């Protein structure tokens, strides 16, 4: 499927190869493997947020920086970009993550880390808590509970509603390759399942200035999680892609490798 998103797609500056997987519930997921083609490096599965995709320029640059120390597998989550299906706001996306986990295990990677931003953070928490099979989990700017609206900055809340909660906004998103559900059954929240991730190491990253998901989301996730766990709070991190700088990629790499057993 070709989408308008390709107008602003990132052109890879590292070795890259496309991949396709199919989830247990029958959704085709497309993505790109970046960096070292062998299996001697840990595999890092990098999942984008709602209204994103893996070749969005800033996200793509961040993936390239991570590929210096990991073989990065960056999928389009369901309902986004080149992948099929309809978004489930992080619920069924755990099956997208799990399908890529199965791929990298089959290829031969001994260690697998999942990293997700916002909706991707929800997905990696749910995959690790409800399915498992990974060696480390990093959730960046994830919500903890579904009723997040009251804690959001009013402008961020209005912008989100304009895009997701109105017919013109949804039509514009479809033109950009983002397909949202007409109805949604609320699954277990990240806070409900995060305690099941242990003994797999968990890293929670959040911005103190996150306009969409207030800091208490990170604090509640951390409180509900079991050891080993780590909480990183940034003063000027923003939300999800806002904080994906080269400097943060370097720091995150150090943290991942420290926590990786």
Contact (CB, 8 A) for 123 and 83: no
Average pLDDT over residues 161-175: 84
Report residue 8's pLDDT band, with 50, 70 and 90 as the boundaries. low
List the structure tokens of 28: 């085709």
SS3 at position 120: helix
Number of domains in the chain: 1
Domain span at residue 254? 4-259
| pLDDT tens by residue, 49-107 | 999 999 999 999 999 999 999 999 999 999 999 999 999 999 999 999 999 999 999 99
Kindly tell me if the per-residue pLDDT of 5 is higher than 60: no
Question: Residue 229 maps to which CATH number?
Answer: 3.40.50.1820
Give the pTM. Answer: 0.94
């Amino acid at each position: 499927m070709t989408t308008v998103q390709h107008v602003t797609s990132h052109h890879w500056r590292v070795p890259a190869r496309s991949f396709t997987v199919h989830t247990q519930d029958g959704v085709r997921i497309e993505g790109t493997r970046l960096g070292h083609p062998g299996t001697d490096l840990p595999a890092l599965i990098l999942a984008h947020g709602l209204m994103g995709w893996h070749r969005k320029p800033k996200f793509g640059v961040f993936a390239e920086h991570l590929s210096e120390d990991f073989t990065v597998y960056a999928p389009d989550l369901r309902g986004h970009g080149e992948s099929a299906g309809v978004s489930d706001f992080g619920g069924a996306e755990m099956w997208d993550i799990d399908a890529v986990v199965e791929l990298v295990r089959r290829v031969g990677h001994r260690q697998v880390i999942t990293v997700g931003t916002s909706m991707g953070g929800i997905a990696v928490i749910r995959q690790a808590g409800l399915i498992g099979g990974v060696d480390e989990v990093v959730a960046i700017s994830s919500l903890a509970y579904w009723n997040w609206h009251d804690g959001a900055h009013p402008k961020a809340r209005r912008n989100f509603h304009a895009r997701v909660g109105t017919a013109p906004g949804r039509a514009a998103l479809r033109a950009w390759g983002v397909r949202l559900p007409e109805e949604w059954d609320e699954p277990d929240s990240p806070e409900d399942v995060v305690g099941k991730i242990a003994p797999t190491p968990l890293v929670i990253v959040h911005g103190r200035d996150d306009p969409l998901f207030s800091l208490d989301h990170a604090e509640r996730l951390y409180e509900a999680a079991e050891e080993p766990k780590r909480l990183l709070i940034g003063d000027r991190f923003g939300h999800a892609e806002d904080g994906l700088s080269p400097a943060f990629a370097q720091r995150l790499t150090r943290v991942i490798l420290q926590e990786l057993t």
